[in-house]
Structure 1
Amino acid sequence: MITTLSSREFNQDTGRAKKATEGGPVFITDRGKPAHVLMTFKDYQRVTGKGKNILDLVGMKGAGSIEFEAEKISNFTKPLKDLF
């Protein structure tokens, strides 16, 4: 659910705006036009893809349907005969 507040409403009741982000983004208008978006940090990370690590990605829904082919690593180790 998207909530829209004027800049004046936002300035008068920031607590309401922060609480509204629990249901989705909050659009803040300036002279009737959208000027800013307020969202939870968790939603921001989801939208930007930041804060993810490989464990987060493996555990996400639908991960089994992602096509992935790892590149073969060559010359990763040296044969034992080269070490002595």
Structure 2
Amino acid sequence: MDCIFGNPFRPVTFSPSWRTDTALALARQMYESRDFGAMPILADALQDAGCDSPEVLDHCRGDEPHVRGCWVVDLVLGKG
């Protein structure tokens, strides 16, 4: 369930500047297709945009399964 809710004891500040065209395209594709295999690539795109949040980057690169409603994808898409 961490994929949907994240860690409620460690809220994440998400900078709008991390929503690059690449990050948005990756997040939209994963959200629409429900195929989250590109999560590590999303981490790279966010890091290239200046994201230095270990919570965000580690979640994207983690082994846990991702689902629609993933808190990082929702943050990128402005749903969170």
TM-score by length of 2: 0.24
Computing the radius of gyration over CA atoms, which structure comes out larger, 1 or 2?
A: 1
TM-score by length of 1: 0.23
Whose helix fraction is larger, Structure 1's or Structure 2's? 2
Whose strand fraction is larger, Structure 1's or Structure 2's? 1
